[in-house]
Chains A and B, each alone.
Chain A
Amino acid sequence: MTNENLIQYIYGIADNSLILGQRISELCGHGPTLETDIAMTNIALDLLGQTRSYYQYVAELSAKDLTEDDVAFLRTEREYKNVLLVEQPNTDFAYVIVRQYFFDVFHFMLLKELENSKNVNFQAIAKKSLKEVSYHKRFSGDWLKRLGDGTEESKAKAQQAVNDLWVYTDELFQMTDNDILIAEAGYGVDTNPLKSAYYNEITALIKGSTLDIPETPYFQKGGKQGIHTEHMGFILSDMQYMQRTYPDMKW
């Protein structure tokens, strides 16, 4: 296991936090109430804070002279290893909540395991992040219940979001060869054993929200290999604008 293996593993976790944090940030100032606006911004702040801890560690591990910002802003699209779920657009509040909930349940399980990693950096980041993510999960889960079992309109919108985003859930558990290597070394997490607990948990909440579980014969994947949806390029051109336009400057 080389440092490069470890770096690639970190991208698989940290890029999720970065891209989801970026997506939620787009909503700041546009939420349905001030209270939800403040809460969603908190979630974005947590995710971006986690991202910084991971990327600072990448900068330490890297043979090149990197900063956290080089890692965040100066990679090409194929080099980002986030799952497709987190790059999906903020179509409406139902999509935002369902995307969040699908991710949060996985994220919480992953961090619970990562807390027991042999790697002390992972342990520390996981420990700190777990507190945050347990709140995220409660927030998104509670809102999914409200939307599902709210009005006819909210139920229809929530069901639509569940149907459309369900196809991105399986990828959360996809293990790349590198993931397997890191997990076998006791540094990373084998996500396979988490999968059934994940589906049990989200299925129970969706049904409890009076919504149906979609029947999907096929799941979308590709993000972990850097093959993203067409949304990703726009996220990056927005996010990387300053670093690309004014290279090598301090901000």
Chain B
Amino acid sequence: MNTREKMNENDEQIRSLEEIFEAKIARDEKIEPKDWMPEKYRKTHIRQISQHAHSEIVGMLPEGNWISRAPSLRRKVALLAKVQDEAGHGLYLYSACETLGISREELYDQLHSGKAKYSSIFNYPTLTWADIGAIGWLVDGAAIINQVPLCSTSFGPYARAMVRVCKEESFHQRQGYEIMMTLCNGTQEQKDMAQDALNRWWWPALMMLGPTDDESVHTAQSMKWKLKRKTNDELRQQFIDQTVPQADILGLKMPDKDLKYNNETGHYDFGEINWDEFWQVVKGHGMCNKERISARKNAWNNGEWVRDAAVAYAEKQADKEVKEAV
């Protein structure tokens, strides 16, 4: 067989593997780490799952900022547990990502070098206690809308991780809303604090659902692989429709003068999102981009000697066991 014939045969094999793969996804069967998958599928999943994992661990920082100052013991414990859940989510998402043939160190390197992205919302500062309520209510609320469809995505480890993540996120969202409710039933100062937090987090939360459909580069392919079930704009509308009545119950005013229920469409119309701000923050010019990355880098770099010690100790113990066995 000459080279050309060999190449043709290889192409044919890949084509048939690809057909089997596509058929599996169409039948709603899961793709598992050991299954054959196109290179692009693997890369897209590494990108998305790692971006998600990074968002979880960078997301620990703005909320972690309030653990030491939480206003009551009950709130302190709940916030600690919430931030710990995020670390847990990061852990299973990194593990899911590692099944695609990339190490945690490589993933961290990508985060630290700026090659990998994380959710831009975590580059906004948490200024008051009400921000902790607003993040739970709005940011976790938007995250759930993004994530629930992923429980049935095609890549098995990601889908299974998301089932657990979503359960915990919905608990976090209720907890955040309950913080807001408590503030809104409190003194005028507390209500003002809640309103101010809503004013600052509302628009970034809407941006969290991603760029508008005509600017979203990955949507078509992601829909095919069930990494996405609805477009960014559809998800955003769903989030707004669900959240506006919740703000009404709190007695808070949405910071959007164009927000209005549209009887014809059955949805809320809303004002224009400041996409310039969104892209600025994505490009690294948000208030806390530098701090977030340097906090992650510090944790990793300052922990290097600890990780090295653990490895050295484990090796010594293994040597001892071998010697004892001999």
Using a CB–CB distance below 8 Å, which chain A residues touch chain B?
22, 25-26, 28-38, 41-42, 44-45, 48-49, 51-52, 55, 68-69, 72-73, 92-93, 145-147, 149-151, 153-154, 157, 238-239, 241-243, 246, 249-251
Given A34-B87, A249-B186: A29 in contact with B307 (beta carbons within 8 A): no
Q: Judging by beta carbons under 8 Å apart, are B94 and A34 in contact?
A: yes
Q: Judging by beta carbons under 8 Å apart, are B129 and A69 in contact?
A: no
Q: Judging by beta carbons under 8 Å apart, are B80 and A154 in contact?
A: no
Q: Write out, one digit per residue, whether chain B residues 188-226 have a CB within 8 A of any chain A CB (1) or not (0).
A: 011000000000000000000000000000000000000
Q: Judging by beta carbons under 8 Å apart, are A154 and B309 in contact?
A: yes
What are the residues of chain B within 8 A of A251 when measuring CB–CB?
71-72, 75, 129, 179, 182-183
Q: Judging by beta carbons under 8 Å apart, are A238 and B69 in contact?
A: yes
Q: Judging by beta carbons under 8 Å apart, are B87 and A92 in contact?
A: no
* A238 vs B295: C-alpha distance when bound (angstroms): 20
Using a CB–CB distance below 8 Å, which chain B residues touch chain A?
57, 60-61, 64, 67-77, 80-81, 83-84, 87-88, 90-91, 94, 129, 179, 182-183, 185-187, 189-190, 295, 298-300, 302-310, 312-314, 316
Contact residue among A31, A55, A92 (Cβ-Cβ distance under 8 Å from B73): A55
What are the residues of chain A within 8 A of B68 when measuring CB–CB?
22, 25-26, 238-239
Q: Judging by beta carbons under 8 Å apart, are B60 and A28 in contact?
A: yes
Q: Within the complex, what minimum Cβ distance (angstroms) separates B152 from chain A?
A: 26
Q: Judging by beta carbons under 8 Å apart, are B295 and A29 in contact?
A: yes
* A186 vs B67: C-alpha distance when bound (angstroms): 37
Q: Judging by beta carbons under 8 Å apart, are A145 and B313 in contact?
A: yes
Q: Judging by beta carbons under 8 Å apart, are B309 and A28 in contact?
A: no
Given A38-B87, A69-B72: A32 in contact with B80 (beta carbons within 8 A): no
Q: Judging by beta carbons under 8 Å apart, are A49 and B84 in contact?
A: no
What are the residues of chain B within 8 A of A151 when measuring CB–CB?
305, 308-309, 312
* A52 vs B183: C-alpha distance when bound (angstroms): 22
Output the residue of A38, A45, A150 with the most chain B CB within 10 A. Answer: A150
Q: Judging by beta carbons under 8 Å apart, are B305 and A28 in contact?
A: no
What total count of A-B pairs have CB within 8 Å? 139
What are the residues of chain A within 8 A of B303 when measuring CB–CB?
31-33, 36, 93
What are the residues of chain A within 8 A of B64 when measuring CB–CB?
28-30
Contact residue among B71, B83, B91 (Cβ-Cβ distance under 8 Å from A29): B83
Given A149-B313, A149-B316, A151-B308: A243 in contact with B71 (beta carbons within 8 A): yes
6 contacts between A and B (CB under 8 A): A25-B80, A33-B307, A36-B303, A146-B313, A251-B182, A251-B183
Q: Judging by beta carbons under 8 Å apart, are A51 and B73 in contact?
A: yes
What are the residues of chain B within 8 A of A150 when measuring CB–CB?
308-310, 312-313
* A243 vs B69: C-alpha distance when bound (angstroms): 9
Instruction: For the complex of A and B, list the 8 residue pairs with the smallest distance between their C-beta atoms, beginning with the closest.
Output: A32-B303, A150-B309, A154-B309, A242-B71, A29-B60, A251-B71, A32-B306, A29-B64
Q: Judging by beta carbons under 8 Å apart, are B308 and A30 in contact?
A: no
